[in-house]
Every structure is written in C-alpha cells, then in structure tokens.
Amino acid sequence: MKNILSPSILSADFNILGQQIREVDEAGAEYIHIDVMDGIFVPSISYGMPVIKSIRKTTQKVFDVHIMITDPIRYIEEFAKVGADIITFHLEATDDAMAVIDKIHGCGIKAGISIKPGTAVEELLPYLDKVDMILVMTVEPGFGGQSFIPESIGRVKKVRQMLQERGLTTDIEVDGGIYTENVSNVLDAGANVIVSGSGVFKGNVSENVKKFINILQNR
C-alpha cells in the first residue's frame, strides 16, 4: 500500500483557494480532500458542486470528496459530474449503504465508506470487500481544527486487522487532528491515506506538505 497525503481544503484560505490548491499540488500532495457538509447530518455547512467544479480546473490531482450529507445517494451523479474521483459517504447517513456504493461505482469512480468515532468498526464488515477506501474519522465530523481522539488508534488497527483477515489491502483513510507530530502513530496503526487540514494550510503550505510527505515516504 502506498502512503498518500490528502490535504483538506476546509482549512484553506478561500480568498486564495486556487493558489493554495496549486501549492499543495506542486509540493507533491497526490489527493485533494474536499469536505461537503449539509448542516443536517453534521451541524456545519461547507460548500458543494459549484466549488468543486470551479477548482477542478486548477489541478489534475485526485479529488477525494468526503460527503457528510443525509441520504447521500441523491447527489452521487452530480458529484461525479463535477470532478470527484473518489466519493466517501457515511455509513450512518443512509439506510442502504450498498445502494450508495453501487451508485458510486456505476459512475465509474471509487467508493469510500466512513464511520464516526462512536460507530463500532464491526459495522463495516458487510462492506469491506465492496469499497475502495475506508475512512475512520479521528474526530467528530463537521468541524475543522479538532483534537485527535486517541482511541482512534485502536479503531484503525482493528479495521486493518479485519481487512487482513480477508486478504484485503484496501486503503484506510484517517481524518481529523492529524499533524506531522502524530501522523506516525496512525501510519503504524495501519492507515495509509492521511487527511490534514490545519496541519497543511496553517503556516507555510508547501513546507508543511513536504514535511508530511517526507514522513509518509519513510515509513
């Protein structure tokens, strides 16, 4: 499995969003993490299809779209049309997760499934061989800048163990409170796709990306 950095634009400066996306692109980040929040599944509202369509022209890097929205199947086709390469939805946001996975794959893109910190990792069991990525939230979804939940380490380890027992090498993504100071802990636990917002966009963006990538490439 390859270790991948996915900077979250939720923490970017939207006054210069295109410029900052180019910075993380040129510094070597492979994914761009795009958090879509509806104000219902999570309290916050972020941005939607028009923003994704606009920034798609800025970079060819993978658009890692994390939709924190109720009844996600309603919008899968639209997110695919505006440039999503991966769509990750929340298990807790739908009554028919398999239908959402099939809808995403039917659009010709990768499907990810995410769980909140309070959801048992065993709830993922029916979908382990159906998805391309599993996102283990390491904070409560809906707000940037939160502190990492330490118990997340054990949850990531358990998901990796469940995958290995089934002969699967599926990507495990982590999102929330990840900085260069603690990223090694989640990598050691079995995560390989690292989302960081504040850890990338606060301060020197290019240098922050390079510091992350140096760690990821040397694990």
Active site residues: 35, 175
What are the strands, taking DSSP E only, across the chain? 4-7, 31-37, 62-68, 86-90, 110-115, 133-137, 171-175, 193-196
Q: Quick check: helix, strand or coil at residue 16?
A: helix
- Distance between CA 128 and CA 115 in Å, rounded? 13
Check whether 197 is labelled as a binding-site residue. yes
Check whether 85 is labelled as a binding-site residue. no
Check whether 175 is labelled as a binding-site residue. yes
Check whether 66 is labelled as a binding-site residue. yes
Tokens 């079995």 belong to residue: 190
Check whether 198 is labelled as a binding-site residue. yes
Check whether 106 is labelled as a binding-site residue. no
Tokens describing residue 31 = 């994914």
Check whether 144 is labelled as a binding-site residue. yes
- Among 13, 47, 8, smallest CA distance to 29 is for 8
Check whether 142 is labelled as a binding-site residue. yes
Check whether 176 is labelled as a binding-site residue. yes
Give long-range contacts, CB 8 A cutoff, 24+ apart: 121-127: 121/155, 121/158, 121/159, 121/162, 122/162, 123/91, 124/91, 124/159, 124/162, 125/162, 126/97, 126/98, 127/91, 127/97, 127/98, 127/101
The annotation places the binding site at: 8, 33, 35, 66, 142-145, 175-177, 197-198
The annotation places the binding site for substrate at: 8, 66, 142-145, 175-177, 197-198
The annotation places the binding site for a divalent metal cation at: 33, 35, 66, 175
